[in-house]
Structure formats: C-alpha cells, structure tokens
Amino acid sequence: MNKIYANANEAIKDITDGAVIMLGGFGLCGIPENCITALVKKGVKQLTCISNNAGVDDFGIGLLLQQKQVKKMISSYVGENAEFERQLLSGELEVELIPQGTLATRCMAAGYGMPAIYTPAGVGTEVAIGKETREFNGKEYLMEYAFDAEFAIVKAWKGDADGNLIYKETARNFNPLMAMAGKITIAEVEELVPAGALDPNQIHTPGIYVHRIFEGKNYEKRIEQRTVRKQ
C-alpha cells in the first residue's frame, strides 16, 4: 500500500462539503498548515472541525473561518480569533466548547474503538445539559461519546514511507490522539524518510494509523502571543 502523496492538494482531494475533520495541533504549534491551505484553496464548505483551538484571524483554522467554510467548531480554547467571535455572536457558527481533557479523551476513545467515556468534568454545568450521567462509587460522572470523524489531519516532525510518525515537543499534545481517531488519517511532515530510517523506539504514532503522508513545505511556526522580559 503506497501511502505517499505528492502534496497537500492530493492528500485532501476527497474531502467534500459537510465533512467532519479533526485538525491536530496545540495553539499554533504542530498544526497541519499545508492541509489547511489546501482546504481553503479547494473551497469545501459546511465543515465540522474538531480541534483544540480555532487558530488566529490570519493563520490556522482562522483561514477557513475567514472564508466561511466552517459550519461547526468543536474546541477547548477559542480566545485568539476575532472572526470566530464575530461569527459566534452573530449566529453564523455553531460552537461546542469542551473541557480540554474531555476533548483529548474523546479522541483517544475513538482511536481505541470505545463508543463512549465517563468523566467527572462538566458535571453540574451547562456542559452536562441533555447528557446522561451515572454514579460510580458515590461520585457522578458524565457520559461523552467518542468522536466520529471522517478525516484526521495531523502534522509531524518526521515520518517515513510506512506512515510512522515522530512529533516534536508541544506538537505531541493532540496530534498523536487524533492520528488514531480518524477513519482516514492524513499526515504532513517536515521531513519524509524511507521506511526503516526512523528509530523504532522514537516513533510516537505507528504507521498502522496513517493512511496518507506527504512532505510539507514553507512552515511558518508562529507564536500566538510572544511575551518578552523588559530590559
């Protein structure tokens, strides 16, 4: 099975209007920049995006929001994007805010083939409205379903022709979980090497989870908020 694709445009070519997609990254770290640009170029609409964050106005998922390509955002942190705020307050965008640990665990559950999880996070709050709760050992837990995403799009530091991936530092926060969870997982990497070139002890995502891989280019690696010490 040849998993190598020429570029982002080829890797995402069958993502269509209305798709549910996971997008890896933490803030602006480890986001699949090339695939996001390709989705903007392709012009797909009515997307449901599952991501820890919504990017910023001119970068990351913010580019999709600018073009009104996102119908619903499922996220934990959305505080850096003015266009996101405008669409939310105007009713143009559906938003589901999820505690960060719950978001991660729902990704993990999808990867493990578990239909649902029970978590204490959100019990007794608006997050729990309309959801099933259950008591374990005298403590109440909220049931949350595993995500059901058609595509998971992730970014790694290095990858090989078999789809094995190595992430770097903060990029490991959500990318490995999402890589397990999509029905089709697309990985863009900074460096693509031949099969067998990676140290097996260093691999974070085994190639069994990855269906498509390509070497990206022109990574910006922005910082959301740069804070420096006064001299």
Q: What is the 3-state secondary structure (H, E, C) of 7-64?
A: CHHHHCCCCCCCCEEEECCECCECCCHHHHHHHHHHCCCCEEEECCECCECCECHHHH
Nearest Cα to 31, choosing from 6, 13, 56, 3? Answer: 56
User: Environment class of residue 13 by beta-carbon count within 10 Å: exposed (0-12), middle (13-18) or buried (19+)?
Assistant: exposed
Determine the pLDDT at residue 231: 75
Residue type, 92: E
Determine the pLDDT at residue 57: 86
Mean pLDDT of the chain: 93
* Cβ burial 87-106 (10 Å sphere, 16+ → b, else e): bbeeeebeeeebbbebbbbb
Determine the pLDDT at residue 78: 82
Strands 165-166, 20-23: pairing is unpaired
Asked if residues 108 and 180 have their Cβ atoms less than 8 Å apart, the reply is yes
Q: For the segment 161-177, what is each residue's pLDDT rounded down to a tens digit?
A: 999 999 999 999 999 99
d(CA 18, CA 212): 21
The arithmetic mean of pLDDT across residues 12-40, rounded, is 95
Determine the pLDDT at residue 226: 74
Number of H helices and E strands in the chain, helices first, is 6, 11
3-class secondary structure, 214? strand
Determine the pLDDT at residue 225: 72
d(CA 107, CA 92): 26
Residue type, 220: E
Asked if residues 12 and 34 have their Cβ atoms less than 8 Å apart, the reply is no
Show the tokens assigned to 4.
């190598």
Q: For the segment 41-95, what is each residue's pLDDT rounded down to a tens digit?
A: 999 999 999 999 888 888 999 999 999 999 999 999 887 788 898 999 999 999 9
Q: Which residues contact 83 (CB under 8 A, 6 or more apart)?
A: 57, 62, 65, 66
Q: For the segment 179-205, what is each residue's pLDDT rounded down to a tens digit?
A: 999 999 999 999 999 999 999 999 999
Q: What percent of the chain has pLDDT over 70?
A: 100
Which listed CATH number (3.40.1080.10, 3.40.50.300, 3.10.20.30, 3.40.50.720) goes with 8-117+146-215?
3.40.1080.10
The arithmetic mean of pLDDT across residues 110-133, rounded, is 93
Q: How much is the pTM?
A: 0.91
Strands 139-145, 20-23: pairing is unpaired
